[in-house]
């Protein structure tokens, strides 16, 4: 008998055995299950499903509302801002540095307990008197040490310029003056805030607005002069302020057309919880000898334009050879002003020559050891006196040219001697027709 022949017989025997065992089980042998049967509920009635469904609905409603009334979102809304200022915590270095040369400890209530801490300035000795400075103190409220470290342009003469409460938390921040080595820029304030035992240096959101000095206007440089704006900062009533001149001013070397009474756009600086200083507009101020509120007439300063009228002949100028003077000028019938121009800044006599017969002619001469030299006028306006290019010498010694502007005012130009026996007119203020002589 083969293996295939035995399979039907084996199946029959198994069916018979299973049937026999089933017949042995009676109804009384069956018992309920140990755990009660739980009624199944639809999936939508599950609390977790309900919560998830509600969350999805809120999300959808938010997207719809934003699409209807809000602005479209972009990747920039979620992306990190790489240009945002960030505060750097100071490293614990400089414990063994000595007190900075000619530096004076500052007094400031860093922890808000009403007692001022004494902050010392310890300077890094690198042989060049620049680099890092450590601010070191002991907190009066706890007796714990607090310190800060900053890079400065000079470690000599470090002092506290004042104290402020820029974050309104009741304690004080220390303001330290940091001089600048850049041309024209006097420096900027360093602000230190006490945070958990560290004197953290705040960073300005717009540092170009928080500085002191004269800063060149980008793109203003010409062959003979450039333009600059004046920046200033100060502390008043526990608040740090800064200002920028509304107007820019022309300069050539050390000579400038800026007048006393400069109008400033100003800002008050607030410190946020991240240690960043933010500017808030604070209105108009006027800088004369100090900074004061703007009032009626602020910014209306105009130089004295009264003309110098006295003149003498070529042979009547003290200390000047008449023949040499006539040889140096091509002005017919020369007349020499008695008042000497103050803006030439050259050795020897400086002379303003006009003509007794041709009122349009004006010439500037300077006396040298080897004789008298006529200065060559260069720049944007001619040196002459006509209806639309009026030129005269003021009683204060300023050679002025006035040219008309489309709005009806007149642009003033101040003449100033530059290298190469040349003289150039620098733009100054604009004035009304009634201000001209």
Q: Please check whether residue 415 lies inside any domain of the structure.
A: yes
| Mean of all residue pLDDT scores within the chain | 84
Q: Please check whether residue 63 lies inside any domain of the structure.
A: no
Q: Which among 259, 293, 327 is the end of a domain?
A: 293
The pLDDT of residue 89 is 93
Q: φ, ψ for residue 29 (rounded to 5)?
A: -80, -10
**Full-model pTM:** 0.76
Q: Which among 266, 293, 320 is the end of a domain?
A: 293
Residues 154-165: tens digit of each pLDDT: 999 999 999 999
> CB atoms < 10 A from the CB of 138, how many?
14
Residues 128-154: tens digit of each pLDDT: 988 899 999 999 999 999 999 999 999
Residue range of the domain that includes 122: 98-293
Q: Please check whether residue 15 lies inside any domain of the structure.
A: no
Residues 176, 213, single domain; the answer is yes
Q: What contacts 50, CB < 8 A, 6 or more positions away?
A: 44
pLDDT band at 97; cut points 50, 70, 90: very high
Residues 254, 220, single domain; the answer is yes
How many structural domains compose the chain?
2
Q: Please check whether residue 196 lies inside any domain of the structure.
A: yes
Taking the CA atoms of the chain, what radius of gyration do you get in angstroms?
42
Q: What is the average pLDDT across 120-127?
A: 94
Name the burial class of residue 325, with classes exposed (0-12), middle (13-18) and buried (19+) by CB atoms within 10 angstroms of its CB. buried
Q: What is the average pLDDT across 292-301?
A: 87
Q: Is 406 helix (H, G, I), strand (E, B) or coil?
A: coil
Q: Please check whether residue 30 lies inside any domain of the structure.
A: no
The pLDDT of residue 349 is 80
Residues 103, 178, single domain; the answer is yes
Residues 38-57: tens digit of each pLDDT: 343 343 344 433 444 444 43
Residues 4-31: tens digit of each pLDDT: 444 444 445 434 444 433 443 444 333 3
Q: Please check whether residue 29 lies inside any domain of the structure.
A: no
Cβ atoms of 305 and 413 closer than 8 Å: no
Which residue from 401, 276, 424 is spatially nearest to 344, judged by alpha carbons? 424
Residues 405, 344, single domain; the answer is yes
Q: What is the average pLDDT across 107-130?
A: 95
Q: Please check whether residue 78 lies inside any domain of the structure.
A: no
Residues 113, 204, single domain; the answer is yes
Task: Assess whether pLDDT exceeds 50 at residue 84.
Answer: yes
Q: Which among 229, 264, 293 is the end of a domain?
A: 293
Residues 287, 316, single domain; the answer is no
Residues 125, 233, single domain; the answer is yes
Residues 282, 356, single domain; the answer is no
Residues 137, 242, single domain; the answer is yes
**What is the distance between the alpha carbons of residues 235 and 254, in angstroms, rounded to a whole number?**
29
Element (H, E) at 76: helix 75-78
The pLDDT of residue 343 is 72
Task: Assess whether pLDDT exceeds 60 at residue 275.
Answer: yes
Q: Please check whether residue 262 lies inside any domain of the structure.
A: yes
- Strand order of the sheet with strand 371-374? 311-313, 334-337, 350-355, 362-368, 371-374
Q: What is the average pLDDT across 417-424?
A: 92
**What is the distance between the alpha carbons of residues 151 and 113, in angstroms, rounded to a whole number?**
29
The pLDDT of residue 181 is 61
- Strand order of the sheet with strand 390-393? 376-378, 422-431, 410-418, 399-404, 390-393
C-alpha distances in Å from residue 424, one per residue of 18, 174, 304: 124, 46, 20
Residues 189, 273, single domain; the answer is yes
Residues 279, 379, single domain; the answer is no
Residues 134, 280, single domain; the answer is yes
Q: What is the average pLDDT across 277-305?
A: 91
């Amino acid at each position: 008998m083969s293996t295939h022949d035995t399979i039907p017989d084996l199946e029959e025997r198994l069916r018979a055995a299973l049937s026999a065992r089933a017949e042995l089980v009676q109804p009384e042998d069956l018992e309920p299950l140990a755990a009660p049967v739980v009624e199944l509920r639809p999936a939508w009635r599950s609390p977790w499903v309900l919560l998830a469904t509600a969350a999805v609905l809120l999300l959808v409603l938010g997207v719809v509302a934003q699409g209807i009334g809000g602005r479209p979102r972009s990747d920039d809304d979620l992306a990190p801002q790489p240009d945002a200022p960030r505060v750097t915590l100071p490293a614990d270095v400089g414990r063994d540095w000595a007190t900075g040369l000619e530096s004076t400890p500052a007094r400031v209530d860093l922890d808000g307990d009403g007692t001022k801490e004494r902050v010392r300035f310890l300077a890094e000795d690198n042989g060049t008197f620049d680099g890092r400075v450590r601010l070191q103190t002991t907190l009066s409220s706890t007796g714990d040490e607090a310190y800060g470290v900053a890079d400065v342009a000079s470690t000599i003469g470090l002092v506290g310029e004042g104290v402020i409460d820029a974050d309104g938390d009741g304690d004080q921040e220390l303001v330290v003056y940091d001089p600048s080595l850049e041309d024209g820029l006097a420096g900027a304030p360093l602000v230190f805030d006490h945070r958990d035992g560290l004197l953290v240096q705040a960073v300005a959101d717009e540092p170009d607005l928080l500085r002191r000095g004269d800063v060149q206007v980008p793109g203003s440089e010409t062959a003979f002069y450039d333009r600059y704006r004046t920046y200033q900062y100060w502390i008043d009533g526990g608040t740090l302020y800064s200002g920028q001149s509304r107007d820019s001013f022309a300069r050539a070397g050390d000579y400038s057309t800026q007048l006393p009474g400069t109008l400033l756009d100003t800002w008050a600086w607030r410190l946020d919880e991240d240690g960043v200083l933010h500017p808030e507009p604070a209105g108009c101020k006027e800088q004369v000898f100090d900074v004061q509120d703007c009032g009626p007439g602020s910014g209306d300063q105009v130089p004295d334009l009264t003309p110098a009228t006295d003149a003498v002949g070529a042979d009547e100028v003290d200390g000047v050879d008449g023949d040499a003077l006539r040889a140096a000028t091509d002005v017919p019938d020369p007349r020499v002003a008695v008042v000497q121009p103050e803006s030439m800044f050259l050795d020897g006599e400086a002379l303003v020559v006009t003509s007794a017969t041709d009122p349009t002619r004006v010439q500037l001469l300077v006396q040298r050891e080897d004789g008298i030299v006529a200065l060559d006028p260069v720049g944007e306006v001619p040196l002459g006196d006509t209806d639309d290019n009026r030129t005269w010498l003021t009683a204060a010694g300023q050679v002025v040219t006035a040219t008309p502007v489309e709005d009806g005012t007149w642009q003033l130009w101040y003449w100033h001697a530059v290298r190469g026996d040349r003289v150039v007119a620098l733009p100054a203020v604009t004035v009304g027709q009634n201000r001209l002589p």
